């Protein structure tokens, strides 16, 4: 008889998000390894109170969420379904932060093994974090914890004394045939020809991703012979476009909109190095760094109290700079832009490190962890 694995998360595919992507990956790894996998998650769709479907062999149960408090979705029926489903599960794997799980955990069956993947502490909602603290501390004391990097445990207010296992996020190594010959934009969003040499920012245009930090650095500190290409979409896209135009930043180029996987890897292959300037530790890992590293590209990241500077390491696979320090970021960009041999050395080390995070390796470790 197959072991039953219950995966618990706020949302699930096709909803796109970092944690949701990991939850989907883990669930499908479970199916591949012979587990009977069910995902319990929430939905804001009102058409059905409970919706069930099968995605790639994973049974997905979505329960309607009727209200949000402090960005926390609430659902009384979720409590009922989780309480009922844990009684028949062999393993329950939850993804944190998800406060509903903390609250109901004391009332759940003790029959299954419980695993929690800790992606990040609750950071922004400080009052809610304090209110929730007794539930979270109890939950932490009773479950097996995995983190995506050792830094998460080090800087967490709740995990510092907990014995945690590290299970990093993973990537598929790029296949040259999938992106070779893929056409990327020749002209940017402002109608300018994109140069052949450029440093790359690729991702969501949002404040926490360091978009303003990078733009301010390019305006105030960056040498004019250094080209930066910014690719992506998000709430700060219009701000970025206006900022570049208003400040006559002729060495900063912008490509707007979603890019395909093939286009993304083409950009990584063509760039000199990758810039990852996130400014909040809610950026817990930064898997895009690994994707750039798999193309032998060094990464400039920030010294966040998270897994970001652990993924790409200062002086080994790239350079790490203090958060919001424009001078240090500018110096790092200028150094990698001008010193080709040093950039190549870091890039070669980046490629080697990226192999430690390949899916085949991490998948095997995950299945071993399920069978602890």
**pLDDT exceeds cutoff 80 at 69:** no
- List the structure tokens of 16: 């796109």
**pLDDT exceeds cutoff 80 at 61:** yes
User: pLDDT by residue (tens digit) across 85-98?
Assistant: 999 999 999 999 88
The percentage of residues in the chain with a pLDDT greater than 70, rounded to a whole number, is: 95
pLDDT at 224 (0 to 100) = 87
pLDDT at 166 (0 to 100) = 93
Say if residue 191 is in the same domain as residue 265.
yes
Instruction: Provide the number of structural domains found in the chain.
Output: 2
User: pLDDT by residue (tens digit) across 217-237?
Assistant: 999 999 989 999 999 999 999
Say if residue 216 is in the same domain as residue 134.
no
Say if residue 10 is in the same domain as residue 152.
yes
Say if residue 180 is in the same domain as residue 130.
no
Question: Which residue, of 167, 194, 210, is where some domain finishes?
Answer: 167
Q: Looking at the DSSP assignment, which residues form a beta bridge with residue 202?
A: 231
Say if residue 90 is in the same domain as residue 230.
no
pTM of the model: 0.86
Say if residue 62 is in the same domain as residue 192.
no
Cα atoms in the 13 Å half-sphere on the side-chain side of 165: 15
Say if residue 51 is in the same domain as residue 114.
yes
Range of 279's domain? 176-356
We report the CATH number of the domain holding residue 181 as 3.40.50.2000
**pLDDT exceeds cutoff 90 at 341:** yes
Say if residue 76 is in the same domain as residue 183.
no
User: pLDDT by residue (tens digit) across 198-223?
Assistant: 999 999 999 899 999 999 999 999 99
User: pLDDT by residue (tens digit) across 161-174?
Assistant: 788 999 999 998 88
Q: Does residue 330 lie in a domain region?
A: yes
Q: Does residue 98 lie in a domain region?
A: yes
Say if residue 206 is in the same domain as residue 227.
yes
User: pLDDT by residue (tens digit) across 132-164?
Assistant: 889 999 999 999 999 999 999 888 888 877 889
Between CA 211 and CA 239 the distance in angstroms is: 9
Closest CA to 291 of 257, 252, 261: 261
pLDDT at 183 (0 to 100) = 81
Question: Which residue, of 122, 147, 167, is where some domain finishes?
Answer: 167
Neighbours of 137 (CB within 10 A): 11
């Amino acid at each position: 008889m197959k072991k039953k694995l219950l995966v618990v998360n706020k949302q699930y595919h096709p909803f796109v998000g970092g944690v949701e992507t990991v939850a989907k990956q883990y669930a499908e790894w479970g199916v591949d390894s012979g587990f009977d996998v069910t995902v319990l998650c929430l939905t804001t769709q009102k058409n059905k109170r409970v919706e069930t479907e099968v995605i790639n062999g994973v049974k997905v149960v979505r329960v309607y969420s009727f209200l949000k408090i402090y960005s926390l979705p609430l659902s009384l029926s979720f409590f009922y379904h989780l309480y009922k489903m844990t009684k028949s599960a062999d393993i329950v794997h939850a993804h944190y932060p998800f406060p509903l799980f903390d609250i109901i955990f004391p009332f759940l069956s003790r029959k299954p093994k419980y695993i929690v993947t800790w992606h990040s502490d609750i950071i922004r909602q400080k009052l809610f974090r304090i209110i929730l603290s007794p539930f979270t501390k109890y939950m932490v004391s009773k479950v097996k914890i995995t983190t995506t990097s050792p830094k998460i445990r080090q800087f967490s207010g709740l995990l510092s004394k907990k014995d945690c296992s590290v299970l990093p996020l993973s990537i598929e190594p790029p296949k040259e045939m999938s992106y070779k010959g893929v056409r990327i934009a020749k002209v940017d969003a402002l109608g300018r020809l994109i140069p052949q040499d450029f440093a790359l920012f690729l991702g969501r245009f949002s404040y926490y991703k360091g978009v303003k930090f990078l733009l301010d650095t390019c305006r105030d500190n960056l040498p004019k012979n250094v080209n930066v290409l910014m690719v992506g979409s998000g709430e700060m896209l219009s701000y970025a476009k206006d900022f570049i135009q208003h400040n006559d930043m002729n060495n900063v180029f912008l490509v707007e909109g979603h890019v395909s996987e093939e286009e993304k890897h083409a950009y990584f292959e063509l760039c000199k190095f990758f810039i990852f300037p996130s400014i909040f530790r809610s950026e817990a890992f930064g898997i895009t760094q690994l994707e750039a590293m798999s193309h032998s590209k060094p990464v400039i990241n920030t010294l966040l109290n998270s897994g970001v500077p652990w993924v790409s390491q200062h002086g080994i696979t790239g350079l790490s700079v203090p958060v919001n320090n424009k001078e240090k970021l500018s110096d790092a960009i200028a150094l990698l832009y001008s010193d080709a041999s040093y950039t190549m050395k870091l890039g070669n080390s980046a490629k080697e490190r990226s192999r430690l995070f390949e899916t085949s390796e991490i998948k095997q470790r995950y299945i071993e962890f399920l069978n602890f």
